[in-house]
A and B are shown apart, each in its own frame.
Chain A
Amino acid sequence: MASAALLIGAITHARKEWEDLSSFLTLKEFPSGTREDFIQNCKNGDYDDVVAIYRSNASTKFTGPFNAEMLSVLPSSLKYICHNGAGYDNVDVDACTQKGIAVSSTPVAVNNATADVGIFLMIGALRQAYVPLTSIREGQWLGKSTLGRDPQGKVLGILGMGGIGREMANRAKAFGMNIQYHNRSRLSPELEGDSTYVSFDELLATSDVLSLNLALNESTRHIIGEKEFGKMKDGIVIVNTARGALINEKALVAAVDSGKVLSAGLDVYENEPVVESGLINNPRVMLLPHIGTMTYETQKDMELLVLNNLRSAVEKGKMITLVPEQKSAFQGMNGTS
């Protein structure tokens, strides 16, 4: 019996490349449904020949998170989970590692699009652009618009200086901003460029704009809360395009209401698609419904990267973009060579 690959959710832009895999894999699909349906299929043995899963970005909606419960019913043949998304907080990577399942994500492909949205939200928040954007459509021209702020000469603090953070820095420099960052470890000089590495506390205390560009995990959950807002400059602008739960959303609402935070630009929320009413009702805040990577070009690149991971894993036993937490556990499995 040939090995199989299972697609959970949909492939929109690289459907042909998925179908091409049928030359050496049986292709199975779970396009939509509930977690109960999916678990039942697993228990029925429908996926017993599956070695690799393509997990679409929307698949969590159907199956729920890949946590310990889910991993206990997935077929024992499963060796690779190829996730479509830069963030993979809905996959329990430690549990996967214990079961010998390698996980890949889609870093790099998302960098430009996410940084574009970060800059859009930053300018929108500095200008408090939601007020004029809505007043003109309501026939009131400037309405209650107030003067905004220029990015020129201000300090942008980037928390998490991976691929997205560095693209954010590149763009922000062109707006005349000075860049400082905090990261688990300081970057090499060539990656760091003319950005300044600072401690987490210094980042909080000296940034005019703070952009979150780090991954969500147990140690970064609520990394920005009431205590951290207290250390920031009055009138700071907050940008979050990473994950909602990095910020304690209720503490953010309080900080925006008190004026501590001048405005915010948000693409992600703690409890999507629910958004705190204190954010919805505050016209100083720019809100987007998690569209960071929602472009034709980037969606296609992400789908192709997932498929390339899947093909390389099955054919050569190597993941192209293995998640970093597994790099020591799966030595030799990482990379294209």
Chain B
Amino acid sequence: MSANEFLQHCKQGNFNHVVGLYRTNSTKETGPFDKELILSLPDLLKYIGLNVAGYDGMDISACTERSIRISNTPNVVANATADVVMFLLLGAMRHAMIPLWKEEAPLGHDPHGKTLGISGMGAIGQALAHRARAFGLRIIYHNRSRLPNDKEGSATYVTFDKLLRSSDILSLNLPATPNTRHTISQPQFKVMKDGVVVINTARGSLIDEAALVDALNSGKVLSAGLDVYEDEPRVHPGLISNGRVMLLPHIGTTTIETKREMELLALRNLEHALDQGELLTPIREQS
């Protein structure tokens, strides 16, 4: 179905009996859930069960005004996404993309003994910290608020500025909001350590991609591991042509097990909401 068709169906009242909506990352089929589309959704609609962890691009306040409650799938994506962070981190530190026999490939670096900075210490950040410790990495993190002791473990809470200055590897694990757009741009690269490794599995808009390309070209950033991009599926040509960078096409959660868990959680949210009037994992803005 095309975006326009979906809007027409809504306006013609074809979905008027719908109270719960299950939505994958379906922007291709429906267009973005912006104000126009949300105002055209059936009057009876009360719940949207999203089968995604990140829901940027969706007009949440328009939904809230219409009393539509939304759930996402935060925790079930944590392990798979953290796995991809570690894969990209190891690959970027080893320059694993350079397809040469070892005599010509540059030496890599060991994670052991280095400092991993995690920006955004939610479920994914915590799953990453758990894995990274087993590789001998020291963990520092920044988050809107400091974690309680039992969740923080041996990770050290630091300011955002300290995170930028002290990390040998920086991983972004925070949601994309208007406030976090271009969290990392030229001024932030400037204060980082020379030879920092940058990993992004969260959302492309968190990093100013053109500034990242400049920082890679200047050598400020030694290498990067990216699963997300500012303008997907378009990827900056300066990243594609750089053999030191590990690039994946947004496969963070694309495993059989995790996709199934995400589908089940989205469905359980709808089921619970219709039975008991309450979502299981409501989005942060509405909880």
Contact = CB atoms under 8 A, between A and B. Distances in A.
Interface of A: 112-113, 116-117, 119-120, 123-124, 126-127, 129, 132-133, 135-137, 139, 141-143, 145, 147-153, 170-171, 173-176, 273, 288-291, 294-299
B162 interface: no
A195 to B, nearest CB: 14
B109 interface: yes
Interface in B73-106: 79-80, 83-84, 86-87, 90-91, 93-94, 96-97, 100-102, 105
A234 to B, nearest CB: 15
The 7 residue pairs across chains A and B that have the minimum distance between CB atoms = A174-B134, A141-B233, A120-B90, A297-B110, A136-B249, A123-B87, A150-B257
A148 B248 contact: no
A149 B110 contact: no
B83 A294 contact: no
Given A120-B91, A294-B107, A295-B110, A149 B240 contact: no
Contacts of B235: 136
Interface of B: 79-80, 83-84, 86-87, 90-91, 93-94, 96-97, 100-102, 105, 107-113, 130-131, 133-136, 232-233, 235, 240, 246-251, 254-259
Contacts of A299: 107
Contacts, number: 135
A119 B79 CA distance: 15
A286 to B, nearest CB: 9
B73 to A, nearest CB: 15
A150 B80 contact: yes
A117 B112 CA distance: 13
Nearest to B254: A147
Contact of B109 (A119, A124, A295): A295
7 contacts: A116-B90, A117-B90, A136-B240, A174-B134, A291-B102, A295-B110, A297-B113
A174 B139 CA distance: 15
A135 B254 CA distance: 15
B97 A133 contact: yes
Nearest to A149: B255
B251 A132 contact: yes
Given A136-B248, A150-B79, A150-B83, 13 more contacts: A112-B110, A112-B136, A129-B87, A133-B97, A133-B248, A137-B247, A150-B255, A170-B134, A289-B100, A291-B108, A294-B102, A295-B94, A298-B110
Contacts of B250: 142
Contacts of B249: 132, 135-136, 141-143, 145
A170 B97 CA distance: 26
A244 to B, nearest CB: 14
B86 A119 contact: yes
B213 to A, nearest CB: 15
A294 B248 contact: no
A146 to B, nearest CB: 8
A149 B83 CA distance: 11
A299 B109 CA distance: 10
A148 B135 contact: no
Contacts of A143: 249
B227 to A, nearest CB: 9
B189 to A, nearest CB: 23
Given A137-B240, A147-B259, A295-B107, A120 B96 contact: yes
A261 B279 CA distance: 41
A90 B115 CA distance: 37
